């Protein structure tokens, strides 16, 4: 049996394999994740947005960052250097491949495989004369030729070559370790031990511990868990939270505390600049001693938020900190909304807990709009547009125009709008119209169903109600809104005309009936006179049937013979059968529609689970927000009379063109009529909220059947089954006896 031998790489050849693999495992993933994206594509995208978003703060910051940043260049240089090392190592490895090829005697003799013995002897004679040492040839080459000749002509050597790959027989099996020999050299043992200890006992535990400590401090939405607990405490403590209180709770988040977040900074100049801003702002509850509202970081964040909403000018240092605070606010407000929803669900399921009021959650949504647009709550939504100032609002809010919101401005005629905005030049007016045309206009349609019930249109007490809301986004261009308004007006006119036509037809029918009634009464009197023993009720029925026949004769639907045949009982039976068949068909059609609706809802759920839609929808026009914001929406159902949530707010982050959202909630346990509202709110724009009424008529739940026909098994079937079982047992016993 061949021996085994382990050896390190003295020449360093096999070490190149290890080194090439190691560098490749680093360079290839790093290139995929760290290679800068196409800057030209980003520049083209910014160029396409310049006409509308050119004045926005986030656009100017992004444009400056793309021009001044050298980080992409450094990333490219580092990655290219890594690829250069990788290619060099691969080249070295390719040169080492010749040393590890299998022994082939045909190649040594310069012959093709399968030649005859005579050709082998002839070639060997020629090469041996050429390389013989006595004639000045290479001795090593002569030995190779002799070994190859022996491997092809000697039977024993040929068998060894075919079995073991070597004419001399099996050789010692050697396992090479792709590490250089100096690693196990006794002189370098302390250095190697030190490197191993430093790598695996210091660096690795520190990296893993830092990552773990950071990950356990944050929730799935990258919000500090301490911040979530803080929001939970104050939302439960103050169910009805006004805007001032909400601003204080928001700015008390630990994301703004330098002890919890290294990105937050407390500067030495804050002791001078922050009090000055407080004096300019006025009353902001500075003297409140309740922690953490009285802490310096919370006070500074509150001042920065209020100065942003007031659109005040601040110094460069304060402006940098203000941008940091503003970037964090939308995610923190979404966390407050999530906390409010959790408390509402807990209060609904357990009872005894105080649920946050609807105004508290809606104030969070309003504050998100205010932060993105940099406007105070009482300010006009028209100030979201460029070139609009406070003194310009008097032109809009007048007796002639009465424009208070963006849709009001769009719905004006071109001449009236241009006359109202006469304080703007042509270029500024065109820019305002371009911005106004990019603002979204959402068309919302609702459909109420009980999908898991036999009758999907009947809402019973305690059933799960599903409201499918279809959202269609359009641009707030003048033409689209005018077209929608025109269509709505036309629809109402047609609807009114139809009602008028229906009323006229009903009146004409009534007139016909009143004209024919005297005739029928006379006929009835005549019949009564002819048959003195007749029944008055029967005569009334006969007269009524004659009136119906007269109506049918006016329509020209039936002949006199058919009318005579209708009086026969067989025809009446046929008519009743036809009516029952049509009713069955209608019921079957309704069942099919309900089944299709249920299948569609299941397919929507499956698609929602499988598909991962992008949250990049449309950039928001925001003059003072420091980061690019996408258009997202909140959709929920609420009872505005009771100031409670009916369904949890759905944060719609994928509305690019059209989106279907299912809102589910349990129906009230008591029967009656309920008035809810389907509410759509933007998290970025002010004045675009929509509220649609939702009427809910709750009926009594159907009584549960004790013995459902599905589970009624006839006694005969049970007896037959028992008999079959007993017969089978008897047959098996007889078979066993026969086998015995």
- Quick check: is 406 in a domain? no
Higher pLDDT, 113 or 296: 296
Q: State the Cα–Cα distance between residues 555 and 553, nearest whole angstrom.
A: 5
**pLDDT reported for residue 102:** 62
Kindly report the pTM of this predicted structure. 0.68
**Do 54 and 151 fall into the same domain?**
no
Q: What is the mean pLDDT of residues 404-427?
A: 90
Q: Give tens-digit pLDDT for 173-187.
A: 555 666 666 777 778
**Do 231 and 365 fall into the same domain?**
yes
Q: What is the mean pLDDT of residues 236-245?
A: 93
Q: Is the pLDDT of residue 262 over 70?
A: yes
Q: What is the mean pLDDT of residues 715-730?
A: 52
Q: What is the mean pLDDT of residues 26-40?
A: 83
**Do 211 and 224 fall into the same domain?**
no
Q: State the Cα–Cα distance between residues 544 and 520, nearest whole angstrom.
A: 8
**Do 136 and 282 fall into the same domain?**
no
For all residues of the chain together, what is the average pLDDT?
A: 78
- Quick check: is 422 in a domain? no
- Quick check: is 11 in a domain? yes
- Check which CATH number belongs to the domain holding 136 and give it: 1.10.287.110
Q: Give tens-digit pLDDT for 542-562.
A: 344 443 444 434 444 444 444
Q: What is the mean pLDDT of residues 703-709?
A: 63
**pLDDT reported for residue 57:** 93
Q: What phi, psi does 465 have (nearest 5°)?
A: -95, 135
Q: What is the mean pLDDT of residues 104-124?
A: 81
Q: What is the mean pLDDT of residues 247-268?
A: 93
**pLDDT reported for residue 474:** 92
**Do 200 and 249 fall into the same domain?**
no
Which pair of tokens denotes residue 113? 């495989």
Examine the fold and report which residue of 328, 352, 379 is the final residue of a domain before the chain moves on. 379
- Quick check: is 543 in a domain? no
**Do 86 and 112 fall into the same domain?**
no
Contacts of 682 (CB under 8 A, 6+ apart): 369, 440, 631, 632, 633, 634, 688, 689
- Quick check: is 153 in a domain? yes
Q: What is the mean pLDDT of residues 346-372?
A: 91
Which pair of tokens denotes residue 429? 């007016």
- Quick check: is 731 in a domain? no
Q: What is the mean pLDDT of residues 204-222?
A: 89
**Do 222 and 199 fall into the same domain?**
no
Tell me the three state secondary structure of residue 404: coil
Task: With both helix axes pointing from N to C terminus, report the angle between 155-164 and 139-153 in degrees, rounded to the nearest 10.
Answer: 100
For residue 637, the cross-strand partners are 678
Q: Quick one: which of 628, 611, 683 has its CA closest to 651?
A: 683
Query: Based on the structure, what is the number of domains in the chain?
Result: 5
Angle at 733 between CA 729 and CA 739, to 5 degrees: 145
DSSP state of 133: G
Indicate the range of 498-502, 540-544, 691-695 predicted with least confidence.
Answer: 540-544
- Quick check: is 620 in a domain? yes
CA end-to-end span of the chain: 60
Indicate the range of 84-93, 289-298, 718-727 predicted with least confidence.
Answer: 718-727
Q: Quick one: which of 408, 417, 462 has its CA closest to 666?
A: 462
**Do 203 and 230 fall into the same domain?**
no
- Check which CATH number belongs to the domain holding 478 and give it: 2.60.40.150
**Do 247 and 196 fall into the same domain?**
no
User: Beta strand pairing status for 633-639 and 644-645?
Assistant: antiparallel
Examine the fold and report which residue of 337, 358, 379 is the final residue of a domain before the chain moves on. 379
- Quick check: is 321 in a domain? yes
Higher pLDDT, 705 or 153: 153
**Do 290 and 249 fall into the same domain?**
yes
- Local confidence band at 574 (pLDDT 50, 70, 90 cut-offs): low
Domain of 25 in residue numbering reads as 7-94
Q: Quick one: which of 547, 586, 578, 540 has its CA closest to 563?
A: 547
**Do 131 and 89 fall into the same domain?**
no
**Do 191 and 58 fall into the same domain?**
no
């Amino acid at each position: 049996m061949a021996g085994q031998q382990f050896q390190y790489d003295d020449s360093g050849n096999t070490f190149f394999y290890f080194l090439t693999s190691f560098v490749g495992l680093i360079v290839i993933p790093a290139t995929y994740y760290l290679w800068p994206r196409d800057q030209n594509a980003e520049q083209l995208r910014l160029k396409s947005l310049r006409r509308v978003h050119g004045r926005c703060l986030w656009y100017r910051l992004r444009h400056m960052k793309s021009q001044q940043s050298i980080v992409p260049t450094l990333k490219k240089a580092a990655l290219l250097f890594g690829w250069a090392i990788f290619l060099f190592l691969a080249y070295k490895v390719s040169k080492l491949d010749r040393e590890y090829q299998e022994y082939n005697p045909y190649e040594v003799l310069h012959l093709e495989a399968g030649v005859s013995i005579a050709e082998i002897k002839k070639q060997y004679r020629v090469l041996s004369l050429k390389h013989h040492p006595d004639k000045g040839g290479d001795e090593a080459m002569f030995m190779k030729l002799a070994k190859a000749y022996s491997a092809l002509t000697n039977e024993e050597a040929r068998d060894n070559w075919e079995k073991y790959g070597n004419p001399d027989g099996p050789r010692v099996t050697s396992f090479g370790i792709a590490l250089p020999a100096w690693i196990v050299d006794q002189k370098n043992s302390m250095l190697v031990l030190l490197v191993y200890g430093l790598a695996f006992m210091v660096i690795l535990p520190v990296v893993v511990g830092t990552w773990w400590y950071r990950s356990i401090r944050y929730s799935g939405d990258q919000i500090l868990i301490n911040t979530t607990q803080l929001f939970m405490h104050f939302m439960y403590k103050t169910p009805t939270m006004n805007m001032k209180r909400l601003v204080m709770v928001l700015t008390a988040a630990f994301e703004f505390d330098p002890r919890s977040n290294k990105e937050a900074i407390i500067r030495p100049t804050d002791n001078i600049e922050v009090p000055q801003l407080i004096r300019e702002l006025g009353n902001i509850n500075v003297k409140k001693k309740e922690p953490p509202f009285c802490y310096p970081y919370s006070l500074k964040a509150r001042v920065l938020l209020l100065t942003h909403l007031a659109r005040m000018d601040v110094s460069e240092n304060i402006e940098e900190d203000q941008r940091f605070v503003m970037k964090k606010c939308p995610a923190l407000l979404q966390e407050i909304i999530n906390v409010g929803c959790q408390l509402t669900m807990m209060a609904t399921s357990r009872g005894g807990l105080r649920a946050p009021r609807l105004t508290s959650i809606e104030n969070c949504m309003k504050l998100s709009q205010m932060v993105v647009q940099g406007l105070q709550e009482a300010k006009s939504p028209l100030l979201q547009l460029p070139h609009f100032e406070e003194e310009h609002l008097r032109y809009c809010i007048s007796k002639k125009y009465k424009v208070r919101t963006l849709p009001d401005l769009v719905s004006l005629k071109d001449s009236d709008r241009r006359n109202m905005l006469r304080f703007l030049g042509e270029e500024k007016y065109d820019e305002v119209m371009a911005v106004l045309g990019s603002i979204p206009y959402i068309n919302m349609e609702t459909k109420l169903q009980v999908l898991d019930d036999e009758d999907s249109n009947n809402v019973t007490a305690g059933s799960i109600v599903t409201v499918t809301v279809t959202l269609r986004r359009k641009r707030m261009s003048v033409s689209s809104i005018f077209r929608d308004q025109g269509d709505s007006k036309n629809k109402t006119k047609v609807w009114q005309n139809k009602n008028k036509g229906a009323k006229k037809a009903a009146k004409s029918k009534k007139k016909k009936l009143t004209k024919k009634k005297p005739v029928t009464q006379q006929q009835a009197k005549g019949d009564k006179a002819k048959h003195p023993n007749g029944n008055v009720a029967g005569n009334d029925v006969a007269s009524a049937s004659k009136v119906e026949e007269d109506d049918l004769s006016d329509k020209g639907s039936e002949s006199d013979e058919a009318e005579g045949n209708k009086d026969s009982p067989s025809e009446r039976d046929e008519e009743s059968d036809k009516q029952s068949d049509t009713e069955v068909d209608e019921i079957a059609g309704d069942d099919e529609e309900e089944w299709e609706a249920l299948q569609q809802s299941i397919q929507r759920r499956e698609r929602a689970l499988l598909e991962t839609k992008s949250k990049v929808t449309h950039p928001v026009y925001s003059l003072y927000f420091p980061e690019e914001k996408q258009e997202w929406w909140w959709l929920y159902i609420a009872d505005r009379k009771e100031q409670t949530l009916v369904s949890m707010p759905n944060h719609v982050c994928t509305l690019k063109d059209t989106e279907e959202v299912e809102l589910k909630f349990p129906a009230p346990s008591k029967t009656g009529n309920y008035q809810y509202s389907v509410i759509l709110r933007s998290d970025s724009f002010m004045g675009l909220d929509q509220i649609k009424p939702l009427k809910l008529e709750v009926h009594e739940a159907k009584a549960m059947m004790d013995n459902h026909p599905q589970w009624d098994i006839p006694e005969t079937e049970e007896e037959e089954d028992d008999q079959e079982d007993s017969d089978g047992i008897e047959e098996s016993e007889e078979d066993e006896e026969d086998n015995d």
